[in-house]
Amino acid sequence: MEFLNLPKLFAANLYAIPDYQRDYEWTSTQNGVLLDDVFALFESDEDSHFFGAIVTIPYEGSNGCDKSIDFDDYGIKDGKGIKHVVDGQQRLTSFTILAKVIADLAKESYAENPNPDTLLGLVRRLDPMYSSYSHVSKDSTPAPVLILNGNTGRYYNNKIMGLTKQNYSKLFKGAKRLNAAYTYFKKEIDAKYKELYKDDLTKRQKFYSDLTDVLTTKVTIVEISCDASSNAFQVFDSLNGKGLDLTAADRIKNILMSKAPMNKRNEVWTNLVQKVGEDFLAGFFVSYFFYCREGRVSKNKLPDEFKKECDSNEFKKFEEFICQLYEKGEIYGALRKAKTKSEKLNCVLKSINKLNMEQVYVMLYAAVSKYGVNVVDGKDFLDYSEMLIRLVVRMQVCEKSMNKLDSCFSEWIKEMKNSEIVLKNITKKIAHDIKQIVPDEDFERGFAQFAPKSNQVSEYYLIKIENYLNKTVKESRTTIDAMPNLSVEHVIPQTCSLSTWYGDEELPPEVKESFFESVVENIGNKAMICGDDNSAAQNFEYKTKLNVYLNGKKGQQEGIPYKTFCLIKEIVDDYPEKFTHEQVFDRAKKLAKIAVQIW
């Protein structure tokens, strides 16, 4: 084991990221800590600073299917001179980006202070920290010293390092994080220069040269090399076995690839990610095992449960296991993305997303697992989904912990699995239990005090109430779901001046103390309105707002509020003189009675 500076580390080998590794994950939080340490070295007499260890194994072709370069293009044979990084990818990637940023800043400063010898010497010291001629054939262009995977690697090679002309997408997370790291380092280094030297342009290249000294001589790393007999997957998982550095999905990826046929390892995981969706992997596995185990498995234990499932005697062949995983992952992904064949169901799923109620997907997935993927297309599943929304709405309004639903979910899943009960009867069971979990009187009382801070959440409730009222009035009104340019209107403005709104009237101390939370954000102070009318009403006094509600704005683009929205009409008719906390609370009680009918 030897302490190595970065140039010596990269002079010895090229380093590649194996397929089973996670993507580049570091944000400005982690990169900020790294850069602070580099700046501290810059301003101190310290000879060196230890930045941790990296763990490597000899390159294995079977674990390098998704590499972003073709070794043949560089005259590299059989991975010679390349090691796989099992631990330490994030730090190495950030250091190579930091080196490239300093080199780019030095080149940009050349116009301010032309000194070709200084610039050339500086770039020559930095260049080996992100590109290499020493490990490739003489006729080749320089290779990246760090070989990342897939689209992230192509973006890194092309956009960040400028070494290739590969196609990439900048929309994926890995590419976004690389770009964010590059932008962050550039911004912070420039800020540090201005802090130290103000606008003295003559010292800029000297600053970059001194910073390069720190990066090339004071940053030290230890490389722990495992031998060729080491099992890559076991080394990787044991290093991260506590789930502290990796997400559950990262460790599951490692387990899945270790079980997959050698020639299909990368394909297996990529296919699953595409079907489920990168953002929904953890939720999928939570739902998968909640149904399998009839109870919640904590995220840090998901990898162990997944390994048990892979090793289960129930699956005689890996192909059988992965096919079932794909099928269930695809329908879970469709539910999370609200992209099923049923438009009515998609509307319900979008409502779940608005309410930010991820727990519901456990039960949606359970029904699919029990009754098959085709159940999603039927009316029974739609009714079942709407009943689950009714449950979470009541929980949300009454501020009950969603964790308390786990015992209900376990009971309902057991009932699904242990009898021939049809989905329609499960829905009836949930409807019965809802009244026990959150009785009507509790829900009505909670709704009268409901004060959602999120406009997205408020919008869901207001649209549902508006549409309910539309169906009960004699005038012919259409539902407002599809209306463009809808906006949440706060009758008492969010930036309300109490003296302007109330004049000399004295507020009760308990109201004044929590005016914004309990009055302004109260559901009784809100309605839906078109965006142009919302802008016209702005933060004006109530009389001006009433005029906008009644007549719309000058040059009206959408329907007149009073004639378009039941809730606006009700405000104008019921509260023609003033609208204070008393009217807010009165109106909230009226809305609460309607809410009981809807949910």
Where residue 84 falls among pLDDT bands split at 50, 70, 90? very high
- The neighbouring-strand residues paired with 146 are 15
To which H or E segment does residue 53 belong? Answer: strand 49-58
Model confidence at 242, pLDDT cuts 50, 70, 90, reads very low
Model pLDDT, residue 556 = 65
Could you tell me if 166 and 68 are in contact, meaning their C-beta atoms sit under 8 angstroms apart? yes
Distance (Å, whole) CA 223 – CA 228? 15
Q: How far apart are CA 64 and CA 78, in angstroms?
A: 11
Q: What is the mean pLDDT of the chain?
A: 88
Please indicate, yes or no, whether the overall pTM of this predicted structure exceeds 0.85: no
Min mean pLDDT across 60-64, 405-409, 495-499 is at 495-499
Model pLDDT, residue 571: 96
Each residue of 57-86: b (16+ CB within 10 Å) or e?
bebeeebbbbbbbebeebebeebebbbbbb
Closest CA to 467 of 334, 597, 380: 597
Compute the distance between CA of residue 481 and CA of residue 471 in angstroms, rounded to an integer: 13
Establish how many alpha carbons lie within 13 A of residue 429's alpha carbon, considering only the half-sphere containing its beta carbon.
14
Confidence of residue 483 (pLDDT cuts 50, 70, 90): confident
pLDDT > 60? residue 474:
no
> Percent of the chain, pLDDT > 90?
54
Q: How far is CA 204 from CA 26, 101, 110, 301, 571, in A?
A: 28, 14, 9, 51, 64
The per-residue pLDDT for range 263-277, each reduced to its tens digit, is 788 889 989 999 999
Q: Which of 38, 345, 23 is nearest to 156 (CA)?
A: 23
Q: Where are the beta strands (DSSP E) in 405-545?
A: 486-490, 526-530
Would you list the domain boundaries of the chain? 3-233, 242-337, 451-598
Cα–Cα distance for residue pair 366/421, rounded to 1 Å:
14
Q: Are strands 486-490 and 14-16 parallel, antiparallel or unpaired?
A: unpaired
Helices (H), 449-495: 455-472
* Furthest C-alpha separation in the chain: 86
pLDDT score of 243: 40
- Secondary structure class of 145 (helix, strand, coil): coil
Q: What is the pLDDT of residue 112?
A: 62
Element (DSSP H or E) covering residue 55? strand 49-58
Q: Are strands 146-147 and 14-16 parallel, antiparallel or unpaired?
A: parallel
What's the CA angle centered on 382, arms 397 and 378, to 5 degrees?
170
In terms of Cα–Cα distance, which of 287, 252, 249 is closest to 370?
287
Quote the pLDDT of residue 552.
86
Amino acid type, 229: S
- Summarised one tens digit per residue, pLDDT across range 277-301 is 988 998 999 999 999 999 998 887 8
pLDDT value at 172 more than 60? yes
